[in-house]
Amino acid sequence: MTIQQVLLLLLLWMWLLHPCRTEMLFRRTPDLRPRSSVGRTSGSDGKALHRQKRGWMWNQFFLLEEYTGSDYQYVGKLHSDQDKGDGSLKYILSGDGAGTLFIIDEKTGDIHATRRIDREEKAFYTLRAQAINRRTLRPVEPESEFVIKIHDINDNEPTFPEEIYTASVPEMSVVGTSVVQVTATDADDPSYGNSARVIYSILQGQPYFSVEPETGIIRTALPNMNRENREQYQVVIQAKDMGGQMGGLSGTTTVNITLTDVNDNPPRFPQSTIHLRIPESSPVGTAIGSVKATDADTGKNAEVEYRIIDGDGTDMFDIVTQKDTQEGIITVRKPLDYETRRLYTLKVEAENTHVDPRFYYLGPFKDTTIVKISVEDVDEPPVFSRSSYLFEVHEDIELGTIIGTVMARDPDSASSPIRFSLDRHTDLDRIFNIHSGNGSIYTSKPLDREISQWHNLSVIAAEINNPKDTTRVPVYVRILDVNDNAPQFAVFYDTFVCENARAGQLIQTISAVDKDDPLGGQKFFFSLAAVNPNFTVQDNEDNTARILTRRNGFSRHEISTYLLPVVISDNDYPIQSSTGTLTIRVCACDSRGNMQSCNAEALLLPAGLSTGALIAILLCIIILLVIVVLFAALKRQRKKEPLILSKEDIRDNIVSYNDEGGGEEDTQAFDIGTLRNPAAIEDKKLRRDIIPETLFVPRRTPSAPDNTDVRDFINQRLKEHDTDPSAPPYDSLATYAYEGNDSIAESLSSLESGTTEGDQNYDYLREWGPRFNKLAEMYGGGESDKDAS
């Protein structure tokens, strides 16, 4: 017999001994109050009915859940003290499950459950019972309410809400550190027995973790668990009801526990000494190499900061921490020189940036290593003594004068000789040249500051042994000024003097310019080349001068123009001067001195026509020529008439195709006598229907005999036209009039009708068939009529 069966029998025995199991009696109790105080009603017989207090006491029924018997499960019995056992009473049940889940015996009051009941679905049922007279159907007892309570059995095991839990705890945690709490639930009645009392235990995960039996809290059981040794743990927790006693039901769940990282490991360099190499030509900022310290921790606990703490190259190199790879990148800080220093030693330190104070005792959380950097020799280009050169030279120096020297050297230990050259793209005019051996720059063409004040040259230095390795340096040549240009008039002056001018009258103010640029500034002096009786120059001493008249009155008819030479000189050394000539015209002016006309215009008008008149005459001539050309073109176009006006207008000597003509009486289109008398063709009469384009001399041809027929005449004319290229096909009769001899009907032309009409016989038309009957009747009938007449 199993434990469950023993437990079931024990509960059944307890149920059988329960005092309220078998029946509930309707017991009368004495009414302590007066009947009238309870209430009264009136019956049908008119007598007063007094309501009495209920005379029974109700208790609960108890029913064991999950009944497995084959019969209905007995619940209890209802009994009234009015029941005499004669079957006169009838028991009625109503409420939860009445008639379906619970049924009652109407005679005995026995209540049964019709099926298994699960307390977890419903813990109790509320019903109402009443006893009535079977014959009158009147209640003998008032309706009362009672409860059927379902007794629980341990039929549900504890369950966890999650099949798998995930939790974490920091590594190196002390014993008893809480990890996570798991809770199981039991559907059984917690108020009845120990069916719902759950106890927790650990099935897997010892000795690392433990669980509290009552609360389900999982705690660490070992000290200093190291994530670097083991990171993942799987713990199985069991929840058992019945207080964990034998026979209780149980459920399990799995808890995956991860040890999270803490900074309990310092960084460590895998090597105590690291060797790196770099060419001396590497520019500043070039990455030489990297160093990396390993850290067993992860995340921010493994972050490391690198720095150079000692060595003979602290000012030559830098180190930068690469955050994504946690490496220290060593870069060049200053230019390297193999000839100066070939080996550098650095002491590099790596230190954790996030240190946990709880683990200071495991420190220090940093490490150092030695980095040795070797500088490799590279064939370097020449190095100039300066980054740029500035030379100043006067513009009047002689050709071949050295203006300056550039210097360069080979920085390599071999010290190869240097060759210098000029970049001709910076000296397109080849004004300068350079000595290839010593770098001396000299002039090869004259200099002129007024053309170019600055020359920007580029000098190239290359090793003789390695010409491809070159270096450039800018050379700036400034041309200094020399007083080599004479001053001149600033502008062209159009000067005039009035005929009524007076002596001392100002007629012009002049100024001068000079291409030179002396240090003290420009200073000009003005004077006359010779004494002039008409005009004089007055220097204003501000680089300007005034032109004044020396006499009264001028006549443009006597002298229309005066030439005044003016000498302009500067004050620089050597003094430069020039003579400029002013052209002064004599003009007629009004009383205010405003010019009205000058002698040049007055003399030009009587001599001839003005420019505008000449242009107008020329335009008239051009228009007349255009009109003549257009008239000639139109006249020529009118002479050219087309030979064929349209496809229906065929100009021939017979008749147009769209007109039947006048027959033999029409002598306008052709002369029928010409066909009958071929000798008449020699007259070569001109056509009257069209105008020939050109006249040509007729060709003389031998005349045909008087008795020649029309066929010979036509063939002769056809031959003439075929051999004459100048004869157009005016007469289509020469080409198409003759039909030939192949037709049986011979020619139907009416040209010979005058001589052969009486000899024609048309009887043969009747032999050609029905199609020619009408024609035969027309011609044949005519002859018959003629004979009859």
CATH number of the domain that 147 lies in?
Answer: 2.60.40.60
Chain CA centroid to CA 76, Å: 89
Examine residue 37 and state whether it is found in any structural domain, yes or no.
no
Examine residue 355 and state whether it is found in any structural domain, yes or no.
yes
pLDDT at 667: 54
Please name which of 295, 288, 319 lies closest in space to residue 306, comparing C-alpha atoms: 319
- Cβ of 505: how many Cβ atoms within 10 Å? 15
Residues 476 and 492 in one domain: no
Residues 447 and 523 in one domain: no
pLDDT at 668: 53
Q: 128 CB contacts (<8 Å, ≥6 apart)?
A: 93, 94, 95, 143, 144, 145, 146
Examine residue 635 and state whether it is found in any structural domain, yes or no.
no
Q: What's the CA gap between 74 and 244, in Å, rounded?
A: 33
Is the preceding omega at residue 207 within 30 degrees of 0, hence cis? yes
pLDDT at 356: 86
pLDDT at 545: 94
Residues 476 and 502 in one domain: no
Residues 417 and 322 in one domain: no
**Running along the chain, 789 residues long, what does each successive block of 10 average in pLDDT?**
49 44 38 32 43 50 75 82 81 86 85 82 84 86 84 81 93 92 86 82 93 94 91 94 85 94 91 93 93 92 93 92 93 91 94 88 89 90 93 93 93 85 94 94 93 94 88 95 90 90 91 88 90 92 93 89 93 88 91 76 47 85 92 78 48 51 53 52 47 47 54 82 67 50 55 51 75 76 45
Please name which of 17, 21, 6, 19 lies closest in space to residue 154, comparing C-alpha atoms: 6
Q: What's the CA gap between 409 and 407, in Å, rounded?
A: 7
Choose the final residue of a domain: 122, 151, 180.
151
Q: What's the CA gap between 665 and 621, in Å, rounded?
A: 59
Residues 526 and 568 in one domain: yes
Q: What's the CA gap between 783 and 777, in Å, rounded?
A: 10
Q: What's the CA gap between 452 and 465, in Å, rounded?
A: 37
Examine residue 681 and state whether it is found in any structural domain, yes or no.
no
Residues 592 and 495 in one domain: yes
pLDDT at 639: 62
Residues 347 and 324 in one domain: yes
Examine residue 781 and state whether it is found in any structural domain, yes or no.
no
Contact criterion met (CB below 8 Å) for 66 and 117? yes
Residues 106 and 134 in one domain: yes
Contact criterion met (CB below 8 Å) for 336 and 280? yes
Choose the final residue of a domain: 444, 459, 480.
480
Type of residue at 323 = K
- Structure tokens belonging to residue 566: 């003016």
Beta partners for residue 308, in sequence order: 348
The helix/strand/coil state of 619 is helix
Q: 668 CB contacts (<8 Å, ≥6 apart)?
A: 688, 689
pLDDT at 25: 42
Residues 305 and 398 in one domain: no
**Structural domains counted in the chain:** 5
Residues 174 and 197 in one domain: yes
Type of residue at 149 = K
Examine residue 610 and state whether it is found in any structural domain, yes or no.
no
Residues 138 and 199 in one domain: no
pLDDT at 39: 34
Q: What's the CA gap between 316 and 306, in Å, rounded?
A: 16
The helix/strand/coil state of 305 is strand
Examine residue 73 and state whether it is found in any structural domain, yes or no.
yes
Choose the final residue of a domain: 206, 229, 260.
260
pLDDT at 610: 61
Examine residue 113 and state whether it is found in any structural domain, yes or no.
yes
Type of residue at 771 = R
The helix/strand/coil state of 452 is coil
Report the half-sphere exposure of 698 (CA within 13 A, side-chain side): 9
Contact criterion met (CB below 8 Å) for 555 and 588? no
Q: Which residues form the domain of 240?
A: 164-260
